[in-house]
Structure formats: structure tokens, C-alpha cells
Amino acid sequence: MRANIPGAVAPKASAADYDALFASPSGQLVLEDLVSRFCGKVYVQGGLEAQRETDFRSGKREVVEHILRQINRANGAPTTDEE
């Protein structure tokens, strides 16, 4: 938990922070779990409810993809993302 100090700037996690966190054996296990849970099939065929489900799945997947982009960035892989 962080203190809420008016005017203070909260530190931002760097790509190296992501890499260090997920490089450990426990981190690798957690990352594999996240990928298996949230990076499955995104598209759902159908009407409006299917579109909502597709959007929901896409949002879940984006979080894991962000983590993977940060790890790749820390290891020098080229990225097209401007985060």
C-alpha cells in the first residue's frame, strides 16, 4: 500500500521491472497461468451479446499482452507499441 501524498508522483514500473518479476520460477509459473487463462480464443460469432463477449475477452487478453510486451522490450525485442 502506498501513501497518498498530494503532489507526489507515483513511480511507474519499467520494462525491466516486468522482466525481473516474471523471470523468476514463480513469476514464470504465474505468467504461464495468466496466458492460459486469458489468451484463448477472443472472437465470438453472433449478435450484440457475442460482440460484447468478444470485447470483454479482448480486454482480458490485452492485459497479458501488455506484460509480454514489457518483458520483450526489456530483452531488446522490437515493439510496435508506443507505451
pLDDT band, very low/low/confident/very high, at 8 (cuts 50, 70, 90)? confident
| DSSP letter assigned to residue 77 | -
Report residue 81 as a C-alpha cell.
507499441
23 within a domain of the structure (yes/no): yes
pLDDT band, very low/low/confident/very high, at 5 (cuts 50, 70, 90)? confident
8 within a domain of the structure (yes/no): no
79 within a domain of the structure (yes/no): no
Q: In the chain, how many domains are there?
A: 1
Q: What is the pLDDT of residues 19-75, one digit of tens each?
A: 999 999 999 999 999 999 999 999 999 999 999 999 999 999 999 999 999 999 999
68 within a domain of the structure (yes/no): yes
Predicted TM-score (pTM) of the model is 0.79
46 within a domain of the structure (yes/no): yes
38 within a domain of the structure (yes/no): yes
57 within a domain of the structure (yes/no): yes
Report the pLDDT value the prediction gives residue 3, as an integer from 0 to 100.
66
CA distance 39 to 60: 8
Range of the domain at 52: 15-74
| DSSP letter assigned to residue 7 | T
2 within a domain of the structure (yes/no): no
User: Which of 27, 39, 29, 33 lies closest to 63 in space, CA to CA?
Assistant: 39
Distances (CA, A) of 63 to 39, 40, 46, 67: 10, 13, 25, 7
